[in-house]
Structures are given as structure tokens and as C-alpha cells.
Amino acid sequence: MAPNSTLAIHGGPKAVHCDGADRWPLFLKDDVSRRIGALLDAGTITIADGGGIVAEFEAAFRDLAGTRFALTMNSGTATLHSAYFAAGVGPGTEVIVPSYTWHASVTPVLHCSATPVFADIDADTLTIDPADIERKITDRTRAVCVVHTWGNVADMDRILAIARARGIAVIEDASHAHGATYKGRPVGGIGDIGCFSMQGVKAVSGGEAGVATTNDPVLFDRMVLLAHFGRGPKGEGARTFDAIGDMSLGAKYRPHPFAIALASSQLPRLAELNRRRTHNYAVLNDRVRGVPGIETVEPRDGSTRGGFLEFKFKIARDVLRRVPLDRIEAALNAEGAPFQKDRYSGMNYTYGLLHQAPLFTTFDRRSLGGCFYDPATYTGPHPAVPLPVTEDVCTRLLSTYAFVDVDETYLHQLADALIKVMAQTESL
């Protein structure tokens, strides 16, 4: 179909007429049933000491991340809270975080009675901008959270150089990036602590689960201390906590073994999933790269993407000065192409514009009490600090599924739809 034919939204034929069902199974039912059945047969419905299937999965994840330690938890949010705690984030300290991220990269900072400081992103990769990290550092900065957004890896060399020179911990939020690498090194093993969500439709999922990775025995033991009631510190840093014996701080962040059974079934499939998603994204990007009005999101030089979660494209600013993104989305959907404007942007503060969210700007956290208000350090609500790149990019993103097992003809038809619509935006 010629890309300049009449748009479907104006009565023309659809560009997409191939079956677009993704046939990659979210999980292998028989394998998961076998693993959970074995736990039930053994009467294992909880694991407090980190043994059994939990120990086996942690060993496999250590291999994936290339780290000495891995610690499973019940969510990616729990791994981030544990990581900040382990890194010494507390009252009077700050953590530099990107605004373009899921809110759980940021809210655990509040649980540590600390202050999140928002940084801008790199427009090309959608990951945190090292130059803005450097601008935001103060003598209160204790850590920086690096989010490998949509599977794209941040500029780790620059970030590590900035952080190491100042004694600042680097926490990698790799929740979108299972299996991604930077200059041959797996994400999650580059900074001080790696945090992976295994929720929902993540590349490795336990339904609800997470895993933290580190090479530092003291950081590992500090995470155990917070997150695993019933599991004593077992890293070489255990001597740090002799004064409290076998106690923990009581948070029960340990995962359910059934969740680890599900994740254990998916982990061996990760390499194939990433291979297919990488190929499919490349098919789309190769077709539309250079098309007027479309900007592709490319991997950083020297890195390989992983996990993905969604495929992202940007619409050029000059196009959006003439036609709203909603109208472009409607035209693509009419073509049978499942593109949508970034549902996390705009007024949805769970992702993308966190620096404008009332929780971090106008809301007075003293009303919450507890860890959310430290009278010695809390200075009240703060107005939003402009982040021009984040604010611009969030208004221009189109998303589609991170396809795994689809007919390649379908991917070409999606590209046809993009090309067709972008060639006729003046009619919208």
C-alpha cells in the first residue's frame, strides 16, 4: 500500500491487515505448574531463610547480572527501598533521580526520610542526563538513581565518574532492562546496587516480585537487615551487624516461593525474548528512521537493550505545532496500528512528570508523620523545578507493544501506517 493513499480515518483502506497477535506466551503453564506443584508436594508455601528455590533463582540471577550477590524480594519497589537504605540514604540526605521514571524509583526516598532531587533526561535515549546530575549534586547528595528506561542503558561511564569522585552511591533501576548490557557488562552489576522489578509483564516476571544485585557484601547485608525478616545476613559484611545478632528491622519484603517459581520458569527464556524484541524493534526503526516527523529511540553506542517493556517513538516538534498528538494517535489506530500517545505522560504523575507531582511540590508531608517528616530537615513543599527536556519529550512520545513473536509482515505494515500518517498530517 502506498504511504500517500487516503488515510483510513478519512475513509481510505487500512494500512494494517495482517494478524498482529503476539504469540509469545507470557509464561509456560506446564512448567510453572510443575514447579509450583513440587513446592506444594513439599509443603513449601513460604521460605524465610533464603533456601530452596529462592537460593537457586538468586544464583541464576547472579550469573545474569555478573554480581557476587542477588537478593529476591516481593517487588521492585522493595528492592529500591532496600537499596537506598543500604546506601545510607536518610534524614538530611538527597537522592538524584530522573523525573521520567515510574514513581517507585522515587517514593522509597521519602520512606528513608530523604529528599528526591529531580534531574533531566537525554532526549535521544530517554535516560538520565549525566550533565544534569552533576549540576544537581550538593553536599547532601548520598545517591543517584539511574533508570535504564524502556531497556535503554544510561551513560554509565560518565555517571560513575561523577559519582565516584564524590563518594556518591549509584543505584541502577533496571526494571525495564533485564539482560541489557553496557560495554559488555550486564546492567545491575555496574553501579553499587541493581534493582529489578519482576512484576506483571516484565521480561522476567513473578507476577509480583523483585531482585536486587550487588558486589558489595556490606550493602548486601544491609539489604537483608531491612528486607528479610527471618533471614540473617550471610554476606562477608555480616560482622557489621554483630550488635543486633540475628535480628532484622522487621520488614517482610521476602518473595512468595510461587512467585519465584514463575520467575524461575521465565529466566531461561530471557535471552530468546530479548533477541526477538531487539530484532522486531530494529525492523520498525529501520523502516521509519529518517522519515520526516518521526524520531526513533536508538540504543546508546556500546550498549545492547534488554527487557524493553514497550517500543517508543517521538513525533517531531514542528509536526505537533500543526496537529495534536491525539489526532495522530487516532489516525494510526484507524489504520489498524496500535500506537498510542505515552499514557504515562501528561497529568498522570505515576510516570514521566514526577517533578511536577503534588507529592513532591505542593503537598505538606508533615501531615503524614512517621518517616515522611523529619522536623530537623523538612523544609516544606517546594515548587516544581523546570526540566525542559523531560517536559518536551513527554508531550511527543508514541508507544506500541514490545512485540516478541509476530509475523514480520505485520511489523512492516505498522511501519507503513506510520509513514502513511506522517506523510499526510496536514489533513488531520
Catalytic residues: 202
Domain 29-268 adopts which CATH fold? Answer: Aspartate Aminotransferase; domain 2 (3.40.640)
Number of H helices, E strands in the chain: 13, 14
Q: Which residues contact 141 (CB under 8 A, 6 or more apart)?
A: 93, 94, 95, 96, 117, 166, 168
**367-384 per-position pLDDT tens digit:** 888 887 777 777 777 788
Q: What is the pLDDT confidence band of residue 245, given thresholds at 50, 70 and 90? A: low
Q: What is the pLDDT confidence band of residue 1, given thresholds at 50, 70 and 90? A: very low
Residue with cell 500500500: 1
**Higher per-residue confidence, 68 vs 2:** 68
What are the Cα distances from residue 102, in Å, to 83, 107, 348, 404?
A: 16, 10, 11, 23
Statement: residue 202 has pLDDT above 50: yes
Helix (H, G, I), strand (E, B) or coil at 388: helix
Structure letter (DSSP) for residue 252:
B
**Higher per-residue confidence, 212 vs 235:** 212
Question: Closest Cα partner for 351 from 105, 154, 170?
Answer: 105
**141-177 per-position pLDDT tens digit:** 999 999 999 999 999 999 999 999 999 999 999 999 9
What are the Cα distances from residue 311, in Å, to 202, 274, 280, 297, 401?
A: 13, 13, 10, 9, 6
Q: What is the pLDDT confidence band of residue 348, given thresholds at 50, 70 and 90? A: low
What share of the chain in percent tops pLDDT 90?
81
CB 337 within 8 A of CB 417: yes
